[in-house]
Structure 1
C-alpha cells in the first residue's frame, strides 16, 4: 500500500506539470508566433515489464505498475492564424520556414514576424533580436546604413513632345521653349532654352542656350510624313554647366510631330537626371527582398531575408520569446522565400499563436481530473493503512 501512495504521488506531480503546460499555452493565446506544447506521459512498470522469468514460474504472471512519468513537452509547429497589422515591415510566412535571428552571439529561429528598424537602422523583432539576411551564402544583419541616401545623377537625355508648324512665316518666326531644366553630377539644376527655326521643307534648326543666353549647341532636325527622320531627330553635344564638369547631353526630338497648324505646344516629356534623395520608405516583397524608396523618386533593392528549414521538428527546442534553438547538433538549411520549398512572405501581416482554445480547455479538464484521481488513490491507500494500524491497536 505504500507503493500505491508513491504511485498516486507520481500522478499528482506529473498532472501538475501537465497543468502548468496547459496554463502556459492558454496564457500565450495572443502571443505572436507562439507554438503550443503538450506534456508527454508514460507509465512506469517494474523492470520485468509484466513477463515472468522461467525461474519465477506462474506465480508472477502479473506485474503491477509503478506510477506515472513524463518525457517532457512536445511542441506543436502548426501555423498560427495570420493577423493584419498595417505595418508594412511585419511579415507572415505563408508556408514552410523560420526566420533566423541573432540574440547576442546565439542564433535562434522564430515564426513571429513583427519587425521594425531600430535607431541604428538594423532590422529587429519585438524582442530586439537582429533579423538575418542571406548574402553570398552567409547570414548577415539587414541594415539601412548604406541605403540612407540616393546619389544624384546628371541628366544624359531630355525627351520632348509636341508639334511644329510646317508652314514657314515671312519673315520666319522662331518657336521657343524656355524652362528646360537639366541636372549636373551634383544634382544641381541648370536652365536651358530652345528655339526652333523653320528652314522649310520639313527642316528645323534647333539652338540651345544656357541661363546666361550663351549658345551651347545648334543643329538640325528633319521631318518626313509628319514624323522625324531617323538620324536627324536629336541634338547631341557636350554640355558644361556653370561651376560643373562637362558631360554628354542628348536632346531627343523623336516624339515631335510636324503639322500645318500646331495646337500642341512643345514640352519636356522626360529627363533622366535626378537630385540627391533621402530615404522615405522601405518595404519587403513576397520574396523577402528589401526595397527602399527615396525623395527623388528612385528605388533601390537591399538585402534579402533568410529563411531556415530543418530535417525534423525535433531539431528545435523553446528558447523563450517565441524563439527556438537547435538541439542535438541539428543544422539548418538556409534559403529565400519562394524558393526551394520555402513559403512566400505576406507584408503587413504576422503569424499569431497556434493555441487551440477548445483543445486546451479539454486538456485542462483532463489534467484536473487526473490530479483529482491521483489524490483519491493516495487518500484511499492512507485509509487502508490506517485500518491496518487500527487492527493492531484493537487486538
Structure 2
C-alpha cells in the first residue's frame, strides 16, 4: 500500500474519532438534561419549588484547512459537539394551594420570604410556616422566617414576649339607647344593673346605675357597687331629647381592696331621652381581665396578630419580603431556597407596599413544574441521547471498515 493511501486512511480515522467524540458529547449533555427533567418531575409536589431547564450550546471548530472565500456561502467549521451552559431556573409563580393553616402564606405578586439558615440569609417562595417549641416562626425546612423592624433591620419573629395579655383597668364605659323622659305617678326610675367594670388588677367590680326622673329632661344618676354602697350621685341633663352640650362627663371613683383606686368615665354621648321606653345599656368597655394566648394569625400585609382569651389582639411583628432587580441575582441551593449571588443587590420591604405583592393567608405556593412540558422535554432528551448513541455506533462501524481496508 502506498504511503499516500495510508495517510488518507489515517485522516479518515481521525475524522471518525472526531465523530465518536461528538456523539459522546451528545450522550453526556443529554444525560444531564435527563437529570434536570427528572429533578423537576421528582419535585412536582414540593412547595415553592422552581423548575429548571438545561441550556445547550454547540462546540465549534474553525478548522485548520484552507479557508473559504469571504463571499462563500460555505463555512470552514465542522463542529465538535455539544456542551451545557448550566440550567436556567424558571421563576414563574407556582400553583396556589389552599391549606387551611392560618400561618401558611402565598405571595400574590413579587417578592421572596427572607429566611435564616445556619446564620445565612436565604430567600424562598415556600410559605408553609409554623411556630417551633421556642415560639419562633420557621418554615418546613426549619429555617427562621425573618421580620423587618422599624429600622429596616432583619430580625426573627418570636412570641416570647406575647404569651400573656396584662389586665387593664376600665377607663371609659360608653352607653347607647334611650332614657325615657315620661313621668308617672308614682315615678318609675330607670336602672342599669351589673355593668362590668375592671379595677387595676383586672378584677371585675360591677356597678349599677339608677336614674331618677326630675322632669324637664333632668335626671339624678346614682352609682352603686355590688354591695349596694353608693359610689357617686350626679346630675344628667337633656335638651330637646339630646344630651346637653354643656353637660360635663360623669365620673365614678372605683376603689377595691388590694388595688389602686381608678376613675371610671361614664360616656353618655349619643344617647337620647324621649317618651320611648328606656333601652339604656353599656356599649363598650375599654378595660379587660388578663388573658392567655389562644391563637396566632398573619394578615395580608404580613403582620403577625396574637389573639388572647380576653378578646384582645396584639401585633407582634411584620414579615419581611425581598425583591431583586433580576432573577439572575439568585442561585438555587436546595430546600426550595435561593442564595443571593455576590455583588447582587436586594431590596427589603413589606407586603402590599411598593412593588411587593400581598399575602394570602391559609394558602401556600406549590411547585411550578408543568407536567406536560416536562414529559415533552423527557422525550426530547431520550431522542437526543438515542441519536448520539447512533452517531457513535455508526462512526465505530466506519472505523472498522477502514481497518478492514488496511488489512486487505
TM-score, normalising length from structure 2?
0.88
Matched, 1:353 2:359: no
Shift of residue 355, structure 1, vs aligned partner: 1.1
- Of 232, 252, 258 in structure 2, the residue corresponding to residue 243 of structure 1 is 258
The whole-number CA distance in structure 2 between the counterparts of 1:387 and 1:357 is 45
* Residue 18 of structure 2 corresponds to residue 3 of structure 1: yes
Give 1:23 deviation, angstroms.
Answer: 0.7
Q: Output aligned runs, 1:275-286, within 5 Å.
A: 275-286=289-300
Question: Residue 245 of structure 1: SS of its match in structure 2?
Answer: strand
User: Against the structure 1 CA distance between its residues 175 and 37, is the aligned structure 2 distance closer, same or farther, given a 3 Å change threshold?
Assistant: closer
> Which of 348, 356, 368 does residue 342 from structure 1 map onto?
356
Q: Give the SS at the match of 1:147.
A: coil
Change (3 A) 1:314 1:52: farther
Of 188, 205, 208, the match for 2:203: 188
Worse-matched range after superposition: 245-254 or 22-31:
245-254
Residue 151 of structure 1, CA deviation: 1.8
Q: Contact conserved, 1:90 with 1:347, CA < 8 A, in 2?
A: yes
Does 2:150 align with 1:154? no
Q: Any idea what the Cα deviations from partners look like across 1:225-278, whole Å, max 9, x if unmatched? A: 333323336421432223211111112334544345x63354323322111122
Residue 210 of structure 1 deviates from its aligned partner by 2.1
Structure 1 residues 193 and 50: CA distance shift in structure 2, 3 A? farther
Match of 1:77 in 2: 91
Q: Tell me if 1:274 matches 2:292.
A: no
Matches within 5 A, 1:191-230: 191-230=206-245
Aligned-pair CA distance for 1:26: 1.1
Deviation at 1:110, TM superposition (A): 0.8
| CA-based RMSD | 2.3
Greater mean alpha carbon deviation, residues 233-242 or residues 32-41: 233-242
User: Alpha-carbon deviations, 1:74-109, whole Å to 9, x = none?
Assistant: 111111121111112111111111111111111111
Q: CA deviation at 1:173?
A: 5.7
Q: CA deviation at 1:153?
A: 1.3
Q: Distance in 2 between matches of 1:78 and 1:44?
A: 31
Describe the shift of the 1:17–1:182 C-alpha distance in structure 2 as closer, same or farther (beyond 3 A): same
Residue of structure 2 equivalent to 1:167: 183
Count of residue pairs brought into register by the alignment: 387
1:290 counterpart residue number: 304
Give the secondary structure class of the aligned counterpart of 1:362.
Answer: helix
Give the alignment of 1:252-271 within 5 angstroms.
252-260=267-275, 263-271=277-285
Distance 1:285-1:167 versus aligned 2 partners, 3 A rule = same
Q: Is the 8 A contact 1:92 1:345 kept in 2?
A: yes
Match of 1:392 in 2: 406
Q: 1:372 aligned to 2:386?
A: yes
Partner of 2:5: none
Q: Over residues 175-204 of structure 1, what are the superposed CA-to-partner deviations in whole Å (9 max), with x where a residue is unaligned?
A: 443322210122101122333233343322
User: What's the CA shift for 1:391?
Assistant: 2.5
The 2-side partners of 1:122 and 1:251 are apart by 42
User: CA 1:211–1:61 in 2, change beyond 3 Å: closer, same or farther?
Assistant: closer
Determine whether 1:37 maps to 2:55. Answer: no
Contact persistence 1:132–1:305 (CA under 8 A): yes
Which moves more between the two structures, 354-363 or 211-220? Answer: 211-220
Taking the aligned partners of 2:353 and 2:260, their CA distance within structure 1 comes to: 46
Q: Which residue of 1 aligns with 2:143?
A: 129
Give the whole-Å Cα distance in 2 for the aligned partners of 1:256 and 1:45. 90
* Cα distance, 1:165 vs structure 2: 4.4
Q: 1:156 to 1:307 in 2, by over 3 A?
A: same
CA 387–234 in structure 1, closer or farther in 2 if over 3 Å, else same: same
Match of 2:41, SS state, is helix
Q: Which segments of 5 or more consecutive residues in structure 1 lack a partner in the other structure? A: none
**Normalised TM-score (structure 1):** 0.91
Structure 1 residue 168 displacement after superposition: 5.5
Q: Distance in 2 between matches of 1:301 and 1:118?
A: 19
